[in-house]
Amino acid sequence: MDPLADGGVLVEWNTGPELTAAALNIPPGELDPSNLPYAIRHYETVHTCMRAALLGILASARFHVEEADGHTYGTAVHVWGFRP
């Protein structure tokens, strides 16, 4: 978790080193955006599913949550506080 100036925090789940390495260590010349390698597609799917799970779990626990700005914070979830 990373604290933010507004008092909220960023929460992010990361993949294991094996999946991260498989997805991120593909030489750029081998990337075809219209047909990405399986490792990259799987990596993106895992991050999408885990972000949705974090949002659902934290909201169920009565935290005020939303997706953080993806360009700035990647797949992080912004937790604003607890809802009574």
**Tally of domains within the chain:** 1
Largest Cα–Cα distance of the chain, in whole Å? Answer: 52
pLDDT of residue 64: 92
> Which DSSP symbol is given to 75?
T
- pTM for this one? 0.75
The domain of 6 spans 2-82
pLDDT of residue 52: 94
Burial annotation 70-81 (CB, 10 A radius, 16+ → b, else e): eeeeebbbbbee
Residue 9 to residue 13: CA distance in whole angstroms: 13
The pLDDT tens digits for 12-55 are 888 888 888 888 887 777 778 888 888 888 988 998 999 999 99
The more confidently predicted of residues 5 and 32 is: 32
